[in-house]
Structure 1
Amino acid sequence: MSTYRIYFDYIKEYKMSLNTSNIYGKITISDEAVATVASHAASECYGVVELVSRKLTDNISRLFNKQNPGQGIRVLTEDNMIFIDIFVVLKLGVSVEAVTESLKSTVKYSVESFTGMRVKNVNVNVVGLRV
């Protein structure tokens, strides 16, 4: 298990954000905003049926039809580097390797375009298959 993963599990309940600046001033981007961009990009990928949360509270909210735009995405920012974990259900019969590679590159490109910062790692966790 990598060091960032242990650190990530330790701080996952805390709200974090990306901080950068340009000639106009300071820019702060919340992890929730990054997760929303990643979620949108992931849901557009062929073969992805659903993004699923690994947290019980998100699953309970889902029962009451409350939308969580970053569901199935965990984001960690550290030293202006972005680490992303994605939890997905894929369509049965697709090439898991092809879909996950497409998912990684699509999410990485979308988040880097949105934030202007480097995505260090995108981990895809396939939690199920659906017909």
Structure 2
Amino acid sequence: MEVYALVGPSGTGKSHRAVNLAHQIDAQAIIDDGLLIQGNRILAGKSAKQQPTRISAIRSALFMDDRQAEIMKESLGELDLNRLLVLGTSIGMVERIASRLGLPLPCRIIKIEEVASEKEIRKAKYLRTCYSKHVIPAPTLEVKKSFPNTLVDPLKVFMRKKGGASGRKDWLEQSMVRPTFTYNGRLTIANSALSAIAGYAATSVKGVRSAGKIGVVVEHEGLVTVDVSPVIFFGLNLPEVAIQIQRKIKQSVEDMTGLQVKSVNVQVKGLSFDHIATEATS
């Protein structure tokens, strides 16, 4: 495996340019702030941006935790990569990451100044200093699932499609987050809001008269369990309607909040004959 390194001071826009650079050098995966990212997926790792303090963020980025390092080694071994891009604030940091993960030393060091202009670096530093915005080179929904209850904003990055027609461009989505250690990045989603989303999703299913009582439990890892007791119109296939309710609630909650739905438990509590009465009088 060949290891390439992108180095530059914190806040200079390394993560923002990581996907584009990886595309240019044909690197199949990226290690950035404790995460292993390939394409549109976060494959392994615990992000430094998710840590409660700056010290713990540094330890996470350097894979100082033995268990974290072993998990990353296993994931890298399963991928069988030809090239890997590792991001760091210095050559020393990248070499330390390589040592912790049993990787070869970088065959090429790319400085942030080689891929970003002075103006772009200044802008990146401004966003970091004034708004505490950090970029993760992965799609918004993927980051939300890994970062439950974290503020995440989408960012589209345009790049010229390799081997494509002249002038054509492709784009990849990245995510901007506010880390926990900035003290203003956590977002709490009230259970009442989750219940409202689940209720709306349930009643949007054909054959559901009302959502009934809804219970929501959010575990520490951001996993959500939803209990719903709908009233369904008489004469319908109850198992089929219940399955549609489960799917609709899961999709709506995950798409709107980024939390991961562990289970949706549907217990039909009543049948409605309203449609029969309406047909009889019409």
Q: TM-score, normalised by structure 1?
A: 0.68
The question of 1:20 aligning with 2:150 is answered yes
Question: How do residues 1-131 of structure 1 correspond to structure 2 at under 5 angstroms?
Answer: 19-22=149-152, 23-24=177-178, 25-52=185-212, 72-79=213-220, 80-131=222-273
CA deviation digits over 1:55-94, x for unaligned, max 9? xxxxxxxxxxxxxxxxx21100012110000011110011
Deviates more, 1:38-47 or 1:20-29: 20-29
Structure 1: how far apart are the matches of 2:209 and 2:200? Answer: 13
**What is the percentage of aligned positions where both structures have the same residue?**
34
Mapped partners of 1:75, 1:49: distance in 2: 20
Q: What is the match of residue 59 of structure 1?
A: none
**Counterpart secondary structure, 1:26:** coil
C-alpha distance in 2 between matches for 1:50 and 1:117: 24
**TM superposition shift of 1:28:** 1.2
- By percentage of residues, which structure has more strand? 1
Q: Specify the code of the residue in structure 2 equivalent to 1:74.
A: G
Write the distance in 2 (CA, Å) between the matches of 1:74 and 1:108. 14
CA RMSD of aligned residues (A): 1.4
Structure 2 stretches lacking a partner, 5+ long: 1-147, 153-176, 179-184, 274-282
Aligned equivalents of 2:195, 2:269: Cα separation in 1: 18
- For 1:44 and 1:21, the matched residues in 2 are separated by 28
For 1:104 and 1:95, the matched residues in 2 are separated by 15
Higher relative contact order (CA closer than 8 Å, sequence separation 6+) = 1
**Greater gyration radius:** 2
Distance, in Å, in 2 between the alignment partners of 1:103 and 1:40 is: 10
Deviation at 1:26, TM superposition (A): 1.7
* Deviation at residue 20 of structure 1 after TM alignment: 3.1
State how far apart, in whole Å, the 1-side matches of 2:196 and 2:234 are. Answer: 25
CA-CA distance at 1:21 after TM superposition = 4.5
